[in-house]
Amino acid sequence: MSQSALANDALAQEFVQFSLDCGVLKFGEFKTKAGRLSPYFFNAGLFDDGAKLGKLASFYAQRLMQSDIEFDMIFGPAYKGIPLGAAVAIELAHLGKNVPFAYNRKEAKDHGEGGSLVGAPLKGRVLIVDDVMSAGTAARESIALIKAAGATAHAVVIALDRQEMATEKKADGTTQDVPYSAVQYVREQVGLQVCAIAELSDLLAYLNAQLGNAMGEHLARTQAYRERYGVRAA
């Protein structure tokens, strides 16, 4: 099943509610790395206890099982991807798909087993697990590690696709918006499949369903932000 076919589905709506309940998803005015004033903020670092992390991993695993993505093992990029990847591997095993798991260190060890990679040997089609994709930089770093090990970076799974324009640096050091998102870049230019538990469109659908209460008041600002910085669905 394609990601577009999964838009606004029950799993995505449940994930939005879960993120709000955990304080991971907040509304207000937040400055992004690109310098934009966003009406919402998603901080996956606040999935910070066993129950939250386990539930988060369950969302990842369910979305992967619903998708048409095939993979042979999981890779968790340092640092946030390490606990995420491990937890997702556990949840997939509970669902009957037991796959190897590996991760990298930021600094290579020169003793013991050495190197920067830990866990199962990288081989076959590798699925990268991360939280969000802002510029695709982390994905490119993971791809280089996976390729150097002789395996194939095949797909990426993330929690939230913001569906907004990426930025790139100009020669003078300033940044400019580009007409594609980081997810679209990784899909179309890098050639990896990308799967998200939820997208900005799912968040808008959630807010639309809340019209008439306090939460629904955030719809207009979030919709305006999408109209200013959003990209067309891939």
Annotated catalytic sites, by residue? Answer: 109, 111
| Closest listed residue to residue 202, CA positions, set 229, 144, 172, 163 | 163
Neighbouring CB atoms inside 10 A of 9's CB total 16
| Closest listed residue to residue 142, CA positions, set 171, 173, 106 | 106
Strand partners, 185: none
CA distances from residue 143 to 81, 100, 152, 154, 173 in whole angstroms, order as listed: 14, 17, 8, 9, 26
- To which residue do tokens 């879960």 refer? 18
Q: Report the SS3 class of residue 61.
A: helix
- To which residue do tokens 């629904």 refer? 216
**CA geometry: angle 161, 136, 127, nearest 5 deg:** 75
DSSP label at residue 34: T
Give the 3-state secondary structure of 84-123: HHHHHHHHHHHCCCCCCEEEEEEEEECCCCCEEEEECCCC
The rounded distance, in Å, linking the Cα atoms of 86 and 129 is 9
